[in-house]
Structure 1
Amino acid sequence: MDTRELTAPPSFPALYARSVLSRPSRRLDFPRTRVVLRDQRFDSGRLTEFCRLTGFPVRDEVPLPFPQVVAFGLQVDLMVREPFPFSVVGVLHVQQEFEQTRALHAGERFDLSVRAVGMLPHRRGATVELRTELTVAGERAPVWTGRSSYLARGVDWPGIPRDAARLDAPAGEGTVWRVPADLGRRYGAVSGDVNPVHVSPLTARAFGFRRAIAHGMWTASRALADLGGPALGAARYEVDFGSPLYLPSTVRHVARREADGWSSAVRSRDGEKVHLATRLRREVTAPRGR
């Protein structure tokens, strides 16, 4: 596997401009390149804004989803600069998994790496799976690992599409969330994810959505914050993204205690649509009301 090292975090405007101008590869393959960014620290201002926007308390412990926010630029860099058979503009986040072996702390120095580990046919195109690893200075094994699955619609990938196993989505009354119309722009400013489907009704309609949709990562992070805040030790958090959460919306977060953690779902106000289902494995306290 080739390694391409970055000397600084990628520039999102430059990457998105490049993605608009470049053409997808015609090869039915994906690149075996690892993108690496070394000797980084968490930006305290960005971390604070992320916590305030998603509902985590501002503490020294880093919320379990936050390294994905930091690594997202590397993911975009990989998908834009390497010869993938799709354009990154308009891709949809369909599944996510985070796992950490211990709590991460805001002052720690770390290396990040991202690589593609596979592509699969999907009934609406193809999915690409990216693996992200965070290694803390002085430690050999990754402390934090992320697995991201993105859907590139319209890509004709060989093979028979198979539906991935889905997480159970609890039903019930739950906690009401009121999601504002400007959330996509606000979360995009923190995360750097300014995909057109999130930032404006006009640009979202160009990609087949009637209004702008919330970032899946915001929804997943807000759900985890409701399940007790930062992961203070070893933890695994799995997410299935479902129906688009249009902005603005009123939704319900329904949580169910399990023997080894929690299952939860973000549902439409009437409970009929599932926007997101999650599974958290660790010892946590009861969900906080909102």
Structure 2
Amino acid sequence: MYARAAIGLVPGFARPDRLPDTMSQRQGVRIDRAHLADYNRVCGFRLTDRLPATYPHVLAFPLAFRLMSGRDFPFPVIGLVHVANRIELRRPIDAGEPLDLAVHAADLREHARGRQLDVVSTAMVDGEVVWRDVSTYLRREGTGSSGGARGDRAEPPPASARWRLTPRVGTDYARVSGDHNPIHTSRLGARLFGFARPIAHGMWSKARCLAALEGRLPEAYTVDVSFKLPVLLPSTVAFSATGAAGTAEVAEAIEATEVRGAAGVAAAAAPEWTFALHSAKSGKPHLDGTITA
């Protein structure tokens, strides 16, 4: 599929001006518990049989990549920018439940910097939709503005935690997710696309933020994230979160989680959260998110 995606970059490769009306599907997908445990370690989750809200995204990734690298897709998949992701976890999912996965593209629309589209993934158990994921991608076209000036940027909220990220964040997540885009794993590959160093996967960043709040989230929730500036590897990032308990209590709980393990933290789940990821050095934003029960 990566070879097919690379061929799509060849000039003169004919493409339609609309999204395909096909749906990629896999039935009866069973969870490999060893892979789930590896994913949980890479992203910072506890080792349990309950799937993190972001885990089905990696199961659906091959279907999404096949769809987006097809000849009937309007843009080359290499070069699309993942700008937002919305996940609806409608109920807890156990690793013993086989999943029926489906992926389709929707809502091709104009944007100030080009065009956007959504890739929609669902997971079903016995005909019930238990999980839904909407990834929004931007195809940059023209010279639209990429955002406000430094003076217009709000000051980042107080940090609840700071994480030092090494280049292994890119290679380890590529291994567990199947997303081996070289901008995440190779300095040369990153430079070919205009980055000084490899950058972290956006979905790793989202998963790491959810892992920091594990044990304090509702049983079912929607988590929305907007991806801002990329996280260069290595770097140090500042995580902030505010829920019903308030920022100070969140920081204390996160510190206890990282020192004693998540099992050592007992706290009531908050129905709503806001969270963010920033550069610890410059305060530049990497990610903004909300969680709603």
Question: Is the TM value for this pair above 0.5?
Answer: yes
Equivalent residue for 1:262? 273
Q: Does 1:148 align with 2:135?
A: yes
Whichever of the two has the greater Rg, that structure is 2
Amino acid across the alignment from 2:98:
R
More displaced 10-residue stretch of structure 1: 105-114 or 74-83? 74-83
**Deviations for 1:213-242, whole angstroms, at most 9, x for unmatched residues?**
000000000000111259662111111100
Match runs of 1:125-204 below 5 Å = 125-136=114-125, 138=126, 140-154=127-141, 171-204=157-190
State the AA in 2 paired with 1:255.
A
Q: Is the 8 A contact 2:236 2:281 kept in 1?
A: no
Q: Distance in 1 between matches of 2:31 and 2:106?
A: 26
What per-residue deviation string (whole Å, max 9, x for no partner) do you get for residues 178-199 of structure 1? 0002221111011001112111
Structure number with the higher helix fraction is: 2
Give the corresponding residue for 1:93.
82
Compared CA separation, residues 25 and 47, structure 1 to 2 (3 A)? farther
- Partner SS for 2:108: strand
Distance 1:141 1:233 in 2: 17
Structure 1 residues 126-166: Cα deviation after superposition (integer angstroms, max 9, x where no partner) = 22201111001x2x23110001111223389xxx99x9xxx
Shift, 1:271, TM fit: 5.3
TM-score normalised by the chain length of structure 1: 0.83
Across the aligned residues of Structure 1 and Structure 2, the Cα RMSD in angstroms comes to 2.4
Aligned to 2:60: 71
**Hey, what's the Cα distance between the residues in 1 that align with 2:216 and 2:41?**
13
**CA shift in 2, pair 1:230/1:272, >3 Å:** closer
* Identity %, equivalent residues: 37
The answer to whether the 8 A contact 2:80-2:137 is kept is yes
- The TM-score normalised by the length of structure 2 is 0.82
Q: Does residue 1:218 correspond to 2:204, yes or no?
A: yes
Equivalent in the alignment of 2:285? 274
Secondary structure, in 3 states, of the residue corresponding to 1:19? helix
Unaligned runs of 5+ in 2: 148-153, 245-269
Do the aligned residues in 2 keep the contact of 1:169 with 1:277 (CA within 8 Å)? no
Give 1:287's aligned residue. none
Structure 1: any 5+ residue segments left out of the alignment? Answer: 1-14, 283-290
Change (3 A) 1:232 1:171: closer
Aligned residues: 259
Is the partner of 1:264 in helix, strand or coil? Answer: strand
> Which 4+ stretches in 1 moved above 6 angstroms?
none
